[in-house]
């Protein structure tokens, strides 16, 4: 792989990442994608090479791993492993979500923290990069068990976070319920009510528009990229993977913009509804009763269910919005999408595409907006929530949405300009990585040996 990095210093940095982080394929993949894009910057910026910026960037500032003991409703002691990776604070306090999923390990949290560092640079807000989580599975647990677990998790995490230090939020498996329990425990132990957690409920300091921000932001930036090619969402067929927070609000905005969303999924399978997804029903199933997407096909005449979620990309569509998990688009999927006429792929999930898929997509005849830029709306509105908490002034839904729209437009313009400046017009992977890198890299240099 490193042979493909066309700069000797960056190839060396990558080799060292492989040696120092064995058995961490997701982290290695995320670093590879960034370093590969930064070759033209490293060629130009000997000062950054000299200052060791690239070497420093791939090493998290701090990795915290902790035991999470809790007792389930049968009285059995359960032990989970918690993580918080404080990746980079060069431009602001660490900021990034918590993921609760059985697959969580150091590699996944490090990849997410690394990505978050660049994403947060693109948001135009002063937030560093961090990520955390646990190998706890909220599925099938009672509300009380989830609360006991969250309280134990926060009993350790609280000492590492704070509004000026590190502010966690949601991600896979962490939604309104979990954030409520986590915030409640943080407040009890820290004896202060601040923006240390975001994604809070509206009555206790949350921002209007945070729940929908990632999905809406995804459609806003995709619409800008489409508009540059004189296209839009109107009348387009859209496929969205996942049926969680990001997927549901991507579907809502895509429909509002006049598109027809024909498929959504969960980890068990996908539903296809050629008449267009009935989002009210999806919300009832997923938000209302934590059900499975298969129930949609049981309730909806004409809709079909297929018990293989990976097959969703075989459905012909104009716009694909992967919004479930990492590496959900393989090279085969990417080729299938393009050959079926897909015009735009914008990533709601973090690192939606495998390395081979990314290499194919940047050269293919498709608008490809990578996760760092495409899903930055969520963390952006988290940043706005912190601002509202600091000033003690809540904003209206309209004000938050107007700011989100402006941020997504700024992100689009910024990644487009960076790609053009380096002679790679339309390559938004390079644009996002370069624009993000220059902000964090310059900030690190200005602060000396940090």
Q: Judging by DSSP bridges, how do beta strands 260-265 and 237-240 pair with one another?
A: parallel
With beta carbons less than 8 A apart as the criterion, state whether 444 and 56 touch. Answer: yes
Which of 29, 198, 325, 388 lies at the binding interface for ligand 2IT (CB under 6 A)? 198
Q: Residue 230, Cβ neighbours under 10 Å: how many?
A: 6
The residue (of 382 and 443) whose beta carbon lies closer to ligand 2IT is: 382
Handedness of CA 437, 440, 445, 450 (dihedral sign): negative
Decide if residue 375 touches ligand NDP (CB under 6 A).
Answer: yes
Query: Which among 131, 236, 343, 439 is annotated as catalytic?
Result: 131
Of 9 and 436, which has the nearer Cβ to ligand NDP?
Answer: 436
123 binds, among ligand 2IT, ligand NDP, none (CB under 5 to 8 A by kind): none
Query: At its nearest, how many Å lie between ligand NDP and the CB of residue 324?
Result: 3
Which helix (H) or strand (E) element contains residue 323?
A: none
Residue 169 binds ligand 2IT, judged by CB under 6 A: yes
What span, in angstroms and rounded, lies between the C-alpha atoms of 126 and 95?
A: 10
**Closer of 96 and 436 to ligand 2IT (Cβ):** 96
Which is nearer to ligand 2IT, 7 or 380 (by Cβ)?
380
Q: How far is the CB of 8 from ligand 2IT (least distance, A)?
A: 32
Q: How far apart are CA 334 and CA 136, in angstroms?
A: 32
With binding defined as CB under 6 A, does residue 95 bind ligand 2IT?
yes
| Binding span for ligand NDP by CB under 6 A among 25-33, 150-158, 172-180, 405-413 | 172-180
Q: Which two tokens stand for residue 414?
A: 């910024």
The per-residue DSSP string of 345-384 comes to: EE--STT-B-HHHHHHHHHSSSEEE-HHHHTHHHHHHHHH
Q: Does 378 bind ligand NDP (CB under 6 A)?
A: yes
Q: Please, what is the minimum distance in Å from the beta carbon of residue 238 to ligand 2IT?
A: 21
Q: Which residue is nearest to ligand 2IT (CB)?
A: 97
Q: Is 433 in the site for ligand NDP (CB under 6 A)?
A: no
Query: Least distance from C-beta 381 to ligand 2IT, angstroms?
Result: 7
Is residue 323 part of the contact set for ligand NDP (CB under 6 A)?
A: yes
* 335 belongs to the catalytic site: no
Question: Does position 400 bind ligand 2IT by CB under 6 A?
Answer: no
Contact between 325 and ligand NDP per CB under 6 A: yes
Task: Please say whether the beta carbons of 85 and 110 come within 8 A.
Answer: yes
Minimum CB separation of residue 94 from ligand 2IT in Å reads 9
| Binding-site member from 264, 277, 379, 411 for ligand 2IT (CB under 6 A) | 379
Longest dimension (CA), the chain: 64
**Which residues, 221 to 260, sit near ligand NDP by CB under 6 A?**
242-247
The residue with tokens 């130009």 is 44
**Cα distances (angstroms) measured from residue 166 to each of 22, 235, 358, 383, 434:** 27, 42, 31, 12, 25
Stretch that binds ligand 2IT, among 69-77, 91-99, 134-142, 176-184 (CB under 6 A): 91-99
**Spatial contact of 248 and 175, defined as CB atoms under 8 Å apart:** no
> Binding to ligand 2IT by residue 215, rule CB under 6 A?
no
Looking at 8-142, list the stretches that DSSP marks H as alpha helix, in order from N- to C-terminal side.
8-20, 25-44, 46-50, 53-57, 106-122
Q: Confirm or reject binding of residue 80 to ligand 2IT (CB under 6 A).
A: no
Which residues have C-beta within 8 Å of that of residue 7, sequence separation ≥ 6?
Answer: 38, 39, 42, 43
Q: Which residues of 284-303 are buried (b: 16+ CB within 10 A; e: fewer)?
A: ebbbeeebbbbbbbeebeeb
Single out the segment in contact with ligand 2IT by CB under 6 A; choices: 30-38, 90-98, 216-224, 276-284.
90-98
Footprint on this chain of ligand 2IT (rule: CB under 6 A):
95-97, 116, 119, 169, 171, 198, 350, 378-379, 382
- Residues labelled as active-site residues: 131
Q: Give the residues lining the site for ligand NDP (CB under 6 A).
A: 170-173, 175, 214, 242-247, 266-268, 309, 323-325, 348-350, 375, 378
């Amino acid at each position: 792989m490193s042979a493909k990095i066309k700069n000797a210093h960056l190839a060396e940095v990558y080799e060292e990442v492989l040696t120092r982080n064995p058995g961490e394929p997701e982290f290695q993949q995320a670093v590879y994608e960034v370093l590969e894009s930064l070759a033209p910057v490293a060629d130009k910026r000997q000062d950054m090479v000299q200052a060791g910026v690239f070497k420093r960037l791939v090493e998290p500032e701090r990795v915290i791993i902790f035991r999470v003991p809790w007792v389930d409703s049968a009285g059995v002691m359960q032990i989970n492993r918690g993580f918080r990776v404080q990746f980079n604070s060069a431009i602001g306090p660490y900021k990034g979500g918590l993921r609760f999923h059985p697959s969580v390990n150091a590699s996944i949290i490090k990849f997410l923290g690394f990505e978050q560092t660049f994403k947060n640079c693109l948001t135009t807000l002063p937030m560093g990069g961090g990520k955390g989580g646990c190998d706890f599975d909220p599925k099938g647990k009672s509300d009380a068990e989830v609360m006991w677990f969250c309280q134990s998790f926060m009993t350790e995490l609280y000492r590492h976070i704070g509004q000026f230090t590190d502010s966690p939020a949601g991600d896979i498996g962490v939604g309104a319920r979990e954030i409520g329990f986590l915030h409640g425990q943080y407040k009890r132990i820290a004896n202060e009510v601040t923006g240390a957690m975001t994604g809070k409920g509206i009555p206790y300091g949350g921002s209007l528009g945070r729940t929908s921000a990632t999905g809406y932001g995804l459609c806003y930036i995709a619409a800008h990229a489409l508009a540059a090619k004189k296209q839009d969402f109107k009348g387009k067929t859209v496929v969205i993977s996942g049926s969680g927070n990001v997927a549901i609000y991507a579907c809502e905005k895509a429909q509002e913009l006049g598109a027809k969303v024909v498929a959504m999924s969960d980890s068990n399978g996908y539903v296809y509804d050629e008449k267009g997804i009935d989002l009210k029903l999806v919300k009832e199933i997923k938000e209302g009763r934590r059900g499975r997407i298969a129930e949609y096909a049981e309730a909806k005449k004409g809709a079909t269910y297929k018990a293989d979620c990976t097959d969703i990309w075989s459905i012909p569509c104009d716009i694909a919005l992967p919004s479930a998990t990492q590496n959900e688009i393989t090279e085969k999927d990417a080729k299938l999408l393009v050959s079926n006429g897909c015009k735009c792929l914008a990533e709601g999930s973090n690192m939606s595409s495998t390395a081979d898929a990314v290499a194919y997509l940047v050269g293919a005849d498709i608008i490809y907006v990578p996760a760092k830029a495409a899903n930055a709306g969520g963390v952006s509105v988290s940043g706005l929530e912190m601002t509202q908490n600091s000033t003690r002034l809540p904003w209206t839904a309209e004000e938050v949405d107007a700011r989100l729209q402006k941020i997504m437009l700024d992100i689009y313009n910024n990644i487009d300009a960076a790609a053009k400046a380096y002679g790679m017009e339309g390559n938004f992977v390079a644009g996002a990585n370069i624009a993000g890198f220059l902000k964090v890299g310059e900030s690190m240099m200005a602060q000396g040996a940090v």
